Amino acid sequence: MANDASGAPLEMREVFGNTLVELGRRYPQMVVLDADLNTSSKALYFKQAFPARFIQVGIAEQNLFGVAAGLALTGFVPFPSTFASFASRRALDQIAISICYPGLNVKIPGSYVGIPTSHAGASHNCIEDIAVMRALPNLRVADPGDNADLAAVMRAAMETEGPVYFRVTRATLPDLFGADHVFQWGKGHLVRPGRDVTLYGTGMMTGFCLQAAELLAAEGIGAEVVHLGSIKPLDAELVAESAARTGCAVTAENATIVGGLGSAVAEALAERCPVPLRRIGVRDRWVSSGGIAELLAHHQMRPEDIAEAARQAIRQKRGS
């Protein structure tokens, strides 16, 4: 399911489409709505498997989420599917007041997030959705770190009553977790232990954190890596516990550092265990068009940038 015939990981959106179909088989009340992007998002697979439960609304995102609210109010579990940019900006009011305020059972995928959307430019390279969605009461927010995590998030979304927002990155991510991976709201994962610094990652950046930990290990620095797929609720306990052990921290997210995971971790640490902290992510600017590697370098979001941030945090901890 999460891998192709040769065992290599699938592109994440393929897993999104496949998991929609898997859930569709299990849950007859599930419906998928689309605003003319199903071949990009891969909601297409659900359309092919369950044409009668696939609702095309055309290019009308405000209506997409309003109709989803109405369907939820008649007992269906809608997945209104569009790009994260359009969910978090064009239709924010509908998501907030029609869906989140009454806590309706709507599952919102945000496709094409952050840097890997790349060529489409600033309008589509969505960086603010974590910050925006995290601010809405009743809404749960997740950024899965690999294919197994995405499938687990989607299953958890179906099993949880109430609104959910989850990100789907248009990229092929290395496997971090096995097929038996369990996702729980408000639970982070310690994916690599270390004693000198904690690297908190979410989404595709957890993989980069592991690469950064390798770079640091070569210098004799032990970096602990914690994956925070559930951004809201956040596993504040694990965040604080790890920081208390290592004494300094770096966050990494495929999004703006303003209000996103970095902010969430900073809030938790400020209240529970203040330690030197660096945040990796888009630094309050728009992500214009470019190649993925080029953009990651430009925005200083590569594993080596995470490693450098870790060295800085460690220096600050030691007061040098």
Binding residues for another protein (CB under 8 A): 31, 55, 57-58, 60, 62-63, 65-76, 78, 93-94, 97-98, 101-103
Task: Give me the least distance between CB of 101 and another protein, in Å please.
Answer: 5
- Supply the DSSP symbol for 76: -
Task: Give me the least distance between CB of 98 and another protein, in Å please.
Answer: 5
* Amino acid letter, 206: T
Q: Where are the beta strands (DSSP E) in the chain?
A: 30-34, 54-56, 77-83, 107-111, 140-142, 164-168, 189-192, 197-201, 223-227, 230-232, 249-256, 277-282
Closer residue to another protein (CB): 59 or 182:
59
Closer residue to another protein (CB): 58 or 121:
58
Contact 221, 247 (CB under 8 A): no
Task: Give me the least distance between CB of 131 and another protein, in Å please.
Answer: 21
Closer residue to another protein (CB): 55 or 297:
55
Closer residue to another protein (CB): 98 or 230:
98
Give 248: exposed, middle or buried? Use CB within 10 Å, 0-12, 13-18, 19+.
buried
Task: Give me the least distance between CB of 86 and another protein, in Å please.
Answer: 13
- Measured CA to CA, the distance from residue 228 to residue 236 in angstroms comes to 10
Task: Give me the least distance between CB of 29 and another protein, in Å please.
Answer: 9
Contact 137, 163 (CB under 8 A): no
Q: Which residues contact 54 (CB under 8 A, 6 or more apart)?
A: 31, 32, 33, 34, 38, 43, 46, 47
Closer residue to another protein (CB): 78 or 114:
78
Task: Give me the least distance between CB of 159 and another protein, in Å please.
Answer: 21
Closer residue to another protein (CB): 94 or 117:
94
Q: From residue 263, how far is each of 134, 206, 230, 254 by CA, in Å?
A: 10, 16, 14, 13
